[in-house]
Amino acid sequence: MKLRLALLALAFVVSFAGQDASLLGAEPSASYLLPGNPLDGSRLFSEKGCLGCHSVYGVGGVAGPELGQGILKRPLLDIAGVMWNHSPGMVHLFQEMRTALPQFKPAEMASLLSFLYYLGSLDPPGDAAAGARLFREKQCQTCHSLGGKGGKHGPKLDSYGRYATPLYLTAGLWNHGKAMAGVMEAIRVPRPAFGKNDIADLLAYIRTTAGSVERVYVRPGNPQVGEKLFVQKRCAQCHRPNAQGTRIGPDLRTKLKGSLIGIAGAMWNHGPKMWAKMDNVPSLAPEEMSDLISYLYFLQFIDPTGNVARGRVVYQEKRCGGCHTLPGVSGTVGPDLASAEKLQTPVEVVTEMWNHVGTMERKMLEESVEWPVFKGGEMADLISYLLSVRKSSAAPADGKKSEPKEK
């Protein structure tokens, strides 16, 4: 039951309060929380069959490229662009396998894209061998024991092996960090700093001593809850409530890059300076740590708005108007994009483009139109243009257009 395992491994997102998918691309270049629900997205990724052909860090099918290695590290609509660019290849494989291309509802597409976006920065699973080295080099074993072997200045760490996610270890490190730093100073062990995936590697090692060799990915928590905790736990006293900087603490929106484990490491590394400024260090339960880190992680979600003028050029260059009607440019092969009903938001446009990809590809072959390939930013630009034309053509001045109603 390989797929079953894969399913489990991918079901790592705990819970995200769903947000309105129509937010997608609606805000100006702000950073805010992810618009879809990555948990639903991870479920759809297997239900719609993607996992049958694609793997994430080696878990999953092999007919399509691996999607876990940061290739999706780009804005959401660019991810949609990448999917589109590769869709003829996928369509042909589906045909060979005699299965229908999966269709999406807009909310599903938003969640799928959110999940793919999350994959773009997903930390690789911890590596137990690297963790064993770190445990020695960082002198954890001078003070801690595992399986009865090691020092006695600190508690045994075996119980951490029960936990699947490094965020438990992160919480333990944070909550005991100040006391640990004291003992380190007393017996002259330098305080270790954590880089890259160190905490995940350490946990992977601890887990092997507890008899578990199963590889586990980091599960992000709930960023909406994390946003509240950030204020409740008084982080916002030195960083602003929206994680902007103050005179005391740095701007976390720009400082924290890339990865959940990296953020956990940054918190640890800067611990002493923070603790020095805190009357008492707020203790964080593992779930809280997980939610906080997820919040800080998804602060990086940037959804650049498209540019209408550039979008018009993209529309012409990609020859969409050869088949589709818009005011001023009228093709006849494809539907009228100004009046088609389900194209009210960026995510709806992306969804319908995907849902119709099979027919479009056939028509393009018939009409000898080369498959349009989107470069970075072009999908967002094109969509901005489409939506702006729809808006203006819905205005009463234009008599021939169908009613501007949304349902």
- Contacts of ligand HEC in 340-399 (CB under 6 A): 340, 342-343, 349, 352-353, 356, 359-360, 363-364, 367, 369, 372, 382
Burial 10-41 (b: 16+ CB within 10 A, else e): bebbbebeebebbbbbeeeeeeebbbbbbbbb
Closer Cβ to ligand HEC, 18 or 334, answer by number? 334
- Residues that bind ligand HEC (rule: CB under 6 A) add up to a total of 90
Please choose, from the candidates 100, 137, 75, 121, the residue with its C-alpha nearest in 3D space to the C-alpha of residue 220: 121
Closer Cβ to ligand HEC, 48 or 215, answer by number? 48
β partners of residue 150: 145
**What are residue 330's phi and psi, to 5 degrees?**
-130, 110
Q: At closest approach, how far in Å is the CB of 227 from ligand HEC?
A: 11
Under the binding rule (CB under 6 A), the answer on residue 327 touching ligand HEC is no
DSSP string over 358-374: HHHHHHHHHTTPPPP-P
Task: Tell me how far apart the alpha carbons of residues 118 and 56 are, in angstroms, rounded to a whole number.
Answer: 12
Position 235: which residue type?
C
Residue 113 DSSP SS3: helix
Q: At closest approach, how far in Å is the CB of 170 from ligand HEC?
A: 9
Here the tokens at position 158 are 């075996």
Q: At closest approach, how far in Å is the CB of 403 from ligand HEC?
A: 16
Query: Which residue's Cβ lies closest to ligand HEC?
Result: 89
Closer Cβ to ligand HEC, 23 or 235, answer by number? 235
Under the binding rule (CB under 6 A), the answer on residue 320 touching ligand HEC is yes
Q: Which of residues 142-201 bind ligand HEC (CB under 6 A)?
A: 142-144, 153-155, 157, 160, 169, 172-173, 176, 179-180, 183-184, 187, 189, 192
Q: Count CB atoms within 10 A of the CB of residue 74.
A: 16
Which residue in the set 322, 329, 339, 388 belongs to the binding site for ligand HEC (CB under 6 A)?
A: 322
- 207 to 236: interface string for ligand HEC, x by CB under 6 A: --------------------------xxx-
- Which one of the spans 24-32, 216-224, 247-255, 392-400 is the region binding ligand HEC (CB under 6 A)? 247-255
Task: Tell me how far apart the alpha carbons of residues 303 and 362 are, in angstroms, rounded to a whole number.
Answer: 32
Task: Tell me how far apart the alpha carbons of residues 206 and 165 are, in angstroms, rounded to a whole number.
Answer: 12
Q: Which of residues 53-112 bind ligand HEC (CB under 6 A)?
A: 53-54, 63-65, 71, 82-83, 86, 89-90, 93-94, 97, 102, 112
Q: Which H or E run contains 232? A: helix 223-232
